Amino acid sequence: MAGKQMEMTGAEMVLQALKDNGVEHIFGYPGGAVLPIYDELHQQEDIEHILVRHEQGAGHMAEGYARSTGKPGVVLVTSGPGATNVVTALQDALMDSIPIVCLTGQVPTSLIGSDAFQECDTVGITRPCTKHNWLVKDVNQLSRVIHEAFRIATTGRPGPVVVDIPKDVQFATGIYTPPSPVIEQKSYQPKVSGDLEKIRAAVELMAGAKRPMIYSGGGVINSGREASQLLRELVELTDFPITSTLMGLGAYPASGKNWMGMLGMHGTYEANMAMHDCDVMVCIGARFDDRITGRLDAFSPNSKKIHIDIDPSSINKIVRTDIGILGDVGHVLEDMVRLWRASKTTDSSQLTEWWTRISKWKARNSLAYTPNKDVIMPQYAIQRLYELTKDRDTYITTEVGQHQMWAAQFYGFEEPNRWMTSGGLGTMGYGFPAAIGVQVAHRDSLVIDIAGDASIQMCIQEMSCAVQYGLPVKIFILNNQYMGMVRQWQQLLHGNRLSHSYTESMPDFVKLAEAYGGVGIRCDKPDELDDAIQTMIDTPQPVIFDCRVAALANCFPMIPSGKAHNDMLLPDEATDEAVANAIDAKGRALV
């Protein structure tokens, strides 16, 4: 069939183009403007369609699917509300660089602009929250646009794209063109290999470093497994300490000897102190987000900074770098490892003093918390969950809030693509649909959404989807009855006036699970927790685990807003008074 042109309807083209781009699963919801495509879906068996309960769920499922497989996630929704409901997931994917191809139905071309039923300006609405988008008005352009959509979503810095297809175009007949290895597009040419001279200069700088620090991010995961392998090799060769952003967890194993823990607002003391005091910083596939840097004018003041990124706009955006290397992390790391091997015989003795300092910071034990034998501490719950699942084939997703930070702090990730979380946008409601997407791609794996009691209620309707497709996702809710992170910030910033952050009416999660046809488990005693978690793991159906935890625990350590890396609030110093005065008037205005 390759190279041959075929006549078919627009709806047939959509299915053909998806198959030709290697798609096996799509997440969607039917509606008037996509009925022709749904009719085609009904008549084939190559592509499995997962029927969601809300289009936002479809978007997050596609994100989880993409993040755990490295392949693009595909979404199919109708016009108007179908398209607007998926916007949150598109922006989420844009900020976290997740490849999503979203196909939206549109009213017939003759009705566009007439305020027709279920019409919205989909390309207008999604323009700022996609990497690129198209409205296809000519059926003969449809196959080319879909192939281009896959290319743009998956190459360069990955991201979401939208293809808006009017209903008359789905019915119209035209010529289908298969994907071509020759790229016609001239304007979009992402650069993958880095400038060798700059890489050489970076290696030289690194070789002379006395206090080096590697700061890696989600770009390493996006670049593929090879990149994570090369990162490990680089750390091994250089003996540099390594920290990572929330998005980059798993690229370097948490059990690795150079691992410092996550950095940033809720990162470890040692990671943040080392970032502050280092003399050479190697930023690999991260973007100096405000959750990472803290106060910018005090961010790592004495270091030379090397930044490897595939997106030219990320380099020098927030922090001025000394050597900016534009290229794909995997390619650049390959060159870097090769040059390091060629030029340097490992002499890690010059790092001895640095490692001694780091071990002192580590000894502060910044993730410590006060154990409690009557009440489950949220940190303890994550630790037990980790211990009981670490030897299995496990994938973890999260919602957004305290539970997300505790999961990042206490769950050790050994491999890339095992950790799905909403980093940039911070979308409550992300974790559960994302877990379903992961489970669709990995049917036999253990997939757990670590959730909060507030977040989980934002996309809880997808329980119905999980049950329908027999996807045994486990929802592990750290239930403290509060929007915990909101409450923590109200305590820090607003005199502990807990405005609307307490949920007085909480569903009975066990009954809720049962109502959907899943299994509910409740646990509120530390000494029963292990057995309860084991029951959850052994249950072959979707489970909602209502883990009742200490209501007022705070997430520490923390860089209060407006403060620098070396100005952290540590758990043992966080008295009520210290917490109340941690943030000054200037910091209060920050998010």
The residues that touch another protein, with contacts defined as CB under 8 A, are 123-124, 127-128, 131-132, 135, 152, 186-188, 290, 293-297, 311-313, 315-318, 320, 562, 586, 589-591
- Which candidate in 12, 40, 55, 148 is catalytic? 55
In the complex, least distance from residue 135 CB atom to another protein, rounded to whole angstroms: 7
Pairing verdict, β 6-9 and 173-176: antiparallel
Q: Is 118 a catalytic residue?
A: yes
Give the active site residue among 91, 119, 167, 556.
Answer: 167
- Location of structure tokens 């997939």: 447
CA-closest candidate to residue 523, choices 344, 417, 376: 376
Would you say how long the chain is, in residues? 591
Q: First-to-last CA distance in the chain?
A: 54
Given the complex with another protein, which of 215 and 410 has the nearer CB atom? 215
**Active-site hit among 117, 197, 204, 586:** 117
Q: 266 or 295, CB closer to another protein?
A: 295
Judge whether 484 and 465 are in contact, CB under 8 Å.
Answer: no
> CB 134 → another protein: shortest distance, Å?
9
Q: What is the DSSP letter of 458?
A: G
474 is catalytic: no
Other CB atoms within 10 Å distance of the CB of residue 124: 11
Cβ 128 to another protein shortest distance, Å: 5
- Choose among 169, 158, 14, 53: nearest CA to 107: 169
Establish whether 106 is a catalytic residue.
Answer: no
The candidate with the shortest Cα–Cα distance to 308, out of 209, 226, 202, is 202
485 catalytic per annotation:
yes
Local structure of residue 194 (DSSP, 8 states): P
Q: How far is the CB of 312 from another protein (least distance, A)?
A: 5
| Cβ-based nearer residue to another protein, 20 or 148 | 148
> In the complex with another protein, which residue's Cβ is closer, 159 or 557?
159
Strands 73-77, 25-28: pairing is parallel
Closer CB to another protein, 256 or 562, in the complex: 562
Helices and strands (H and E) in the chain: how many:
24, 20
Residue labelled with tokens 């520490």: 556
Angle value at C-alpha 232, between 364 and 306, nearest 5 degrees: 80
Least Å distance, CB 562 to another protein, is 7
Spatial distance between the Cα atoms of 157 and 334, rounded to a whole number of angstroms: 18
CB of 186 to another protein, least distance (A): 7
Active-site option among 6, 24, 71, 118: 118
User: 164: exposed, middle or buried (C-beta count within 10 Å: 0-12, 13-18, 19+)?
Assistant: buried
Does residue 462 carry a catalytic annotation? no
Structure token pair of residue 136:
């296809």
- Residue 42 or 186 having the CB closest to another protein: 186
State the catalytic residues: 55, 117-118, 167, 485
